[in-house]
């Protein structure tokens, strides 16, 4: 198929572009010089980071709902945006597609393209923006950024078909497929669009296409299958080119969840379209069809949970390059031409994001070699193996080693349950190879190698870290080593469990999208990574899984229809997750895209809670939706608490829906919902608060949720319940006893009743049960249970004992807000509060930063030489309240002047030992004689 279309090929004359850019730069410089000569104080105002659908220059996106954002770089304090202008074109500095005109607005996030632009498939669009500041000064046009659409409908695939090996079955080695494409002319640019039933990896002329792993990612394949777009221009040449594909079982055919197999189908299949644009402007398409050929490959088994068995004796050297004799290969079977489920992948793919090298090798039993990577991670090992023809080497993995007894130093794998988590490599000939499995993924810190005569050197064993490649936007560094390690553990938990979907654990035979886990962790997740595209993709999965009554299953994707549970704290993810993302970013796109379905879910919640004629939720529960794994629940759960928990969730869901409705401009709906939470709270207090102030079951969770989530409006009642809470904590020796649902609210509840000191005490505990205990026991990720390792060094119950579960890492949100001090006042940090708790537990310094959608927001505080210093950076077009413990307003300096008279400081107040300064954008250095934030008693 030929045409003269070349829509994804941008202007190809680099010299012309360079000259044009130089010319405009020169003009810009002249203009700046002129402005500089005319104005007394020269300003530097420019556009910084530009994103589309929260991604930088995304390749292969859908054409609907395209959302633009940018940051502003400005040196002057107090910079705001008063207006913007956008142009979109099919050439680098063109505006042939859209021109916004000058728009008077401070909006920088989620500026959507009009829906009637009729964006074309497989087309690159360039865009630029310029902004005006509060004084009316304009920036230059930004450098061009771009986005490129993928294939948008089945017709765009130009007749590509799903192809499979002719005799594909689960017992046969995983297939290889190939085709030779002849390109008669010089290639200007080229794209591959591809997807698979199963996992795929493509090569062109023997070189890997793209840098992603585990494509096409996990969705409910019966409803939606993601397709990826690759720029393959550098891989092609004039003449013959070989496209190769290897297929593995993945989520489609392999083990998912609790060893469920073949959930979506049993035949592995591939679909590909290669679109080539030649230098003469003509294009040609090549697609998967009956002309492709297939053969068995060397992967005898390739399963995400069980691992890979690789038999090098089955390799066909050169199969994916030129000059290979494919006479024995068989024509493929054409499976189907139904491409209706294909959609462009909307988020960043799974990539290798880091490589760890083993630091230690031990031999705990003869011939058993164990390597320590020093970090519980998710991915695969890369090992240099030496062996003889027909020799099979076995590679096993574990998160932990036995710490005592006769197995001391050996792998602890009981907690993997049925997942085999084992790779094997069989040598085709004597010698050394570097082996890395392709279609599997393990959760591990330790690598065990057996079946070798010569063990690999320590430096020859590496861990390739996998994860959905979300932008790293935030960090928190603390001078207390335990707390600092805890933050690292939380962050590694996020990396390892964000693999195409948000999972509970990456290691055992589960690895499921448990809705409750991410519901609890999403606010924390948003502090450290830009979750927008990733969680927005998962919201598509939730919509796919929504039940006719509006309810949401407890695991999504829901791979096994028989596991059909729902429940409070889990299903509510459909509201809490988009809320967390919108609140953290000020970007309503994730809400807008799901709003109709979210409202259906909320109606379900509302009707369930109100069906008995009151506002108390007593029915929407299942076996796990009490406070899961609470220590007050006898090991697993405490179900008598569900009434308290469920009514709190009803109030919270309603509050969040009201705020999101307001963000979407649905003011009537927002007002209606906003009126309800006070009534639910009154009903809660009447039903569950006893006259002496105690809450119903008297558990830590009941107090934490009632206080931390503001269920008690009356100040005196709140204080009385607060005292009961502290009594309860005292009986628990000031140690936590909460499970999944209660834990995130423990420290906020203590702050709410003015007991920052007790919040810090719980956080700083290092004996069982506590976060610090895990760290002291050597954890490098967050555990599933408080007793995943018991104080005596024994492991917790093996049937459910993950070392990498992020739910209890939800404390990361509190630490970011209260130790780093960066809090959200208006969504997306449009207005922030910088209010670190200083002076507890020997913590002398904290540094915190986040790349907000408006730019970098940062704080760094330090106690030294009798002085508290606080450096803050506030992004352009935002403001902040900086709260500093001090004796008076006058006691706070900024740089060399009194803080109140420093440029950019718009106001100051003093109350209860704290000075609050209102500041505009810019960088500030505050200092005051040393004080602690609040009461620092030690009960």
Q: Quick check: 516 and 800 in contact, CB under 8 A?
A: no
Cα of 442 vs its chain's centroid, Å: 18
Near ligand BGC in 194-213, by CB under 6 A: none
Please state, in angstroms and rounded to a whole number, the distance separating the CA atoms of residues 582 and 531.
10
- Indicate the residue among 412 and 624 with the shorter CB distance to ligand BGC: 624
Phi-psi region of 214 (alpha: psi -120 to 50; beta: other; left: phi over 0): left
- Dig out the tokens for 747 from the structure: 């420290």
Interatomic CA distance for residues 594 and 68, integer angstroms? 19
Residues 492-531 binding ligand BGC (CB under 6 A) are 504-505, 510, 514, 516-517
Residue span 753-792 as binding mask against ligand BGC, x where in contact by CB under 6 A, dash where not: ----------------------------------------
User: Looking at 399, 510, 632, 641, which residue is catalytic?
Assistant: 510
Distance, CA of 796 to CA of 400 (rounded, Å): 12
Residue placing its CB nearer to ligand BGC in the complex, 496 or 586: 496
Q: How far is the CB of 762 from ligand BGC (least distance, A)?
A: 22
Report in angstroms how near the CB of residue 797 gets to ligand BGC at its nearest.
Answer: 12
Handedness of CA 408, 410, 412, 417 (dihedral sign): negative
Sorted by sequence, the CB contacts under 8 Å of residue 575 that are 6+ apart come out as 598, 601, 602, 605, 653, 656, 657
Q: How far is the CB of 440 from ligand BGC (least distance, A)?
A: 20
Smallest separation, CB 563 to ligand BGC (Å):
11
Shortest distance (Å) from residue 443 CB to ligand BGC: 12
514 vs 574, which CB is nearer to ligand BGC? 514
784 counts as catalytic: yes
**Contacts (CB under 6 A) with ligand BGC, residues 292-311:** none
CB 585 within 8 A of CB 640: no
Q: Of 826, 786, 816, 813, which is closest to residue 802 (Cα–Cα)?
A: 786
Residues in 382-421 at the binding interface with ligand BGC, rule: CB under 6 A = none
Distance CA 32, CA 46 (A): 12
Neighbouring CB atoms inside 10 A of 562's CB total: 6
Interface with ligand BGC in residues 599-638 (CB under 6 A): 624, 628
Task: Restricting to residues 823-882, name those near ligand BGC by CB under 6 A.
Answer: none
Q: How far is the CB of 504 from ligand BGC (least distance, A)?
A: 4
Tokens read off for 648:
């709190």
Nearer to ligand BGC, 118 or 561 (CB): 561
- Tally Cβ neighbours within 10 Å of residue 692: 9
**Least distance from ligand BGC to the Cβ atom of residue 846, Å:** 30
Q: What is the spatial distance between Cα 60 and Cα 174, in angstroms, rounded to a whole number?
A: 28
111-130 residues near ligand BGC, rule: CB under 6 A: none
Q: Assess contact for 590 and 581: CB atoms under 8 A.
A: yes
Distances (CA, A) of 310 to 174, 239, 296, 367, 413: 10, 33, 12, 21, 22
- Are 312 and 425 in contact by the 8 Å Cβ rule? The answer is yes
The backbone torsions φ and ψ at residue 313, rounded to the nearest 5 degrees and listed phi first, read -70, -20
Active-site annotation holder among 284, 617, 632, 784: 784
Q: How many residues of this chain bind ligand BGC (CB under 6 A)?
A: 10
Backbone dihedral angles phi then psi of residue 552, each to the nearest 5 degrees: -120, 135
> Of 277 and 802, which has the nearer Cβ to ligand BGC?
802
Query: Rounded CA gap, 505 and 499, in Å?
Result: 10
- Among 863, 834, 831, CA closest to 928: 863
Contact 50, 87 (CB under 8 A): no
Q: Which is nearer to ligand BGC, 260 or 734 (CB)?
A: 260
Least distance CB 518 / ligand BGC (angstroms): 9
Residue nearest to ligand BGC (CB): 624
Strands (DSSP E) found in 107-174: 111-112, 124-133, 145-149, 162-164
Reported as type and span, the H/E element at residue 589 is helix 589-610
Nearer to ligand BGC, 247 or 545 (CB): 545
Please, which residue, 329 or 624, has the CB nearer to ligand BGC? 624
Q: In terms of CB distance, is 471 or 506 closer to ligand BGC? A: 506
Q: Please check whether residue 584 is in contact with residue 526, taking contact to mean a CB–CB distance below 8 angstroms.
A: yes
Token code pair at residue 208? 């890997």
Q: Are 913 and 867 in contact (CB under 8 A)?
A: no
| CB 224, min distance to ligand BGC, A | 24
Of 257 and 677, nearer to ligand BGC (C-beta) is 257
How far apart are CB 353 and ligand BGC at their closest, in Å? 24
Residues lying near ligand BGC in the complex (CB under 6 A): 504-505, 510, 514, 516-517, 624, 628, 800, 805
- Catalytic positions are 510, 784
């Amino acid at each position: 198929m030929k045409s003269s279309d070349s829509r994804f090929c941008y202007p190809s004359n680099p010299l012309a572009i360079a000259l044009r850019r130089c010319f405009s730069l020169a003009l810009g410089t002249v203009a700046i010089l002129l402005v500089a000569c005319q104005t007394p104080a020269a300003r530097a105002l420019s556009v910084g980071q530009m994103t589309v659908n929260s991604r930088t220059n995304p390749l292969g996106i859908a054409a609907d709902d395209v959302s633009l954002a940018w940051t502003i770089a400005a040196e002057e304090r107090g910079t705001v945006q008063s207006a913007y202008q956008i142009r979109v074109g099919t050439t680098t500095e063109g505006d042939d597609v859209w021109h916004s005109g000058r728009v008077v607005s401070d909006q920088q996030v989620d500026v959507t393209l009009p829906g009637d632009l009729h964006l074309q498939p497989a087309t690159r669009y360039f865009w630029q923006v310029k902004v005006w500041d509060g004084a009316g000064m304009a920036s230059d046009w930004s450098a061009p950024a771009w986005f490129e659409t993928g294939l948008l409908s089945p017709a765009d695939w130009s007749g590509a078909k799903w192809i499979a090996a002719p005799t594909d079955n689960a017992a046969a080695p995983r297939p290889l497929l190939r085709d030779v494409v002849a390109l008669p002319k010089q290639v200007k640019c080229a794209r591959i669009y591809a997807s698979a039933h199963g996992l795929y990896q493509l090569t062109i002329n023997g070189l890997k296409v793209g840098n992603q792993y585990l494509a096409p990612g996990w969705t409910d394949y019966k409803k939606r299958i993601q397709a990826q777009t690759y720029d393959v221009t550098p891989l092609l040449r004039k003449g013959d080119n070989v496209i190769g594909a290897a297929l593995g079982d993945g989520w489609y055919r392999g083990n998912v969840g609790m060893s469920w197999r073949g959930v979506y189908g049993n035949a592995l299949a591939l679909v590909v379209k290669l679109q080539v644009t030649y230098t003469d402007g003509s294009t040609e398409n090549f697609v998967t069809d009956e002309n492709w050929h297939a053969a068995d490959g060397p992967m005898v088994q390739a399963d995400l949970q069980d691992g890979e068995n690789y038999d090098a004796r089955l390799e066909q050297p050169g199969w994916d390059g030129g000059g290979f004799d494919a006479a024995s290969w068989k024509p493929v079977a054409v499976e189907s031409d139904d491409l209706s489920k294909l959609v462009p992948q909307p988020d960043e793919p799974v990539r290798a994001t880091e490589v760890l090298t083993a630091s230690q090798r031990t031999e705990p039993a003869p011939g058993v070699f164990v390597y320590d990577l020093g970090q519980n991670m998710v991915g695969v090992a890369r090992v240099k193996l030496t062996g003889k023809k027909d020799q099979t080497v076995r590679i096993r993995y574990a998160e932990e080693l036995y710490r005592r007894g006769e197995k001391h130093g050996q792998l602890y794998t009981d907690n993997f349950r049925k997942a085999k988590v084992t790779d094997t490599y069989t040598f085709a000939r004597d010698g050394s190879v570097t082996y890395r499995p392709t279609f599997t993924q393990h959760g591990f810190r330790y690598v065990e190698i057996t079946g070798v005569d010569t063990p690999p050197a320590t430096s020859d064993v590496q861990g390739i870290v996998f994860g959905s490649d979300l932008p790293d936007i935030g960090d928190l560094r603390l001078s207390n080593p335990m707390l600092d390690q805890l933050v690292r553990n939380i962050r590694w938990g996020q990396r390892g469990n964000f693999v195409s979907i948000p999972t509970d654990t990456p290691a055992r035979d589960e690895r499921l999208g448990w809705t409750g886990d991410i519901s609890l962790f999403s606010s924390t997740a948003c502090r450290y990574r830009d979750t927008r595209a990733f969680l927005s993709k998962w919201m598509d999965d939730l919509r796919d899984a929504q039940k006719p009554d509006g309810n949401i299953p407890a695991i999504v994707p829901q791979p096994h229809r028989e596991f059909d549970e729902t429940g409070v704290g889990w299903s509510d993810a459909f509201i809490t997750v988009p809320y967390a993302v919108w609140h953290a970013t000020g970007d309503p796109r994730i809400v807008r895209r799901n709003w109709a379905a979210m409202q259906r879910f909320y109606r379900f919640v509302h009707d369930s809670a109100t069906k008995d004629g009151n506002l108390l939720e007593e029915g929407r529960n299942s076996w796990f939706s009490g406070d899961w794994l609470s220590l007050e629940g006898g090991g697993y759960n405490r179900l008598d608490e569900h009434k308290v928990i469920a009514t709190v969730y009803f109030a919270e869901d309603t509050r969040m829906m009201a705020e999101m409705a307001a963000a979407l401009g649905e003011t009537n709906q927002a007002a209606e919902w906003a009126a309800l939470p006070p009534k639910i709270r009154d009903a809660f207090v009447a039903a569950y608060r006893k006259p002496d102030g105690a809450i119903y079951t008297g558990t830590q969770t009941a107090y934490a949720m009632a206080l931390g989530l503001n269920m008690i409006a009356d100040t005196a009642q709140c204080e009385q319940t607060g005292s009961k809470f502290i009594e309860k904590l005292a009986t628990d020796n000031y140690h936590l006893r909460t499970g999944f649902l209660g834990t995130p609210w423990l420290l906020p509840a203590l702050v709410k009743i003015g007991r920052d000191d007790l919040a810090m005490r719980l956080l700083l505990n290092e004996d069982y049960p506590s976060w610090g205990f895990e760290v002291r026991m050597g954890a490098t990720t967050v555990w599933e249970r408080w007793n995943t390792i018991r104080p005596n060094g024994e492991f917790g119950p093996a049937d459910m004992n993950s070392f990498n579960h992020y739910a209890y890492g939800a404390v990361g949100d509190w630490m970011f807000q209260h130790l780093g001090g960066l809090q959200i006042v208006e969504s997306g940090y449009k207005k922030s509060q910088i209010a670190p708790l200083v002076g507890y537990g020997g913590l002398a310094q904290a540094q915190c930063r986040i790349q907000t959608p408006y730019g970098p927001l940062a704080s760094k505080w330090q106690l030294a030489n009798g002085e508290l210093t606080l450096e803050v950076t506030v992004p352009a077009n935002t403001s902040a309240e900086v709260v500093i413990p001090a004796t008076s307003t006058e006691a706070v300096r900024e740089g060399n002047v009194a803080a109140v008279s420093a440029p950019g400081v718009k106001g100051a107040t003093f109350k209860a030992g704290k000075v609050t300064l209102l500041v505009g954008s810019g960088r500030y250095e505050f200092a005051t004689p040393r004080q602690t934030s609040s009461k620092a008693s030690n009960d």
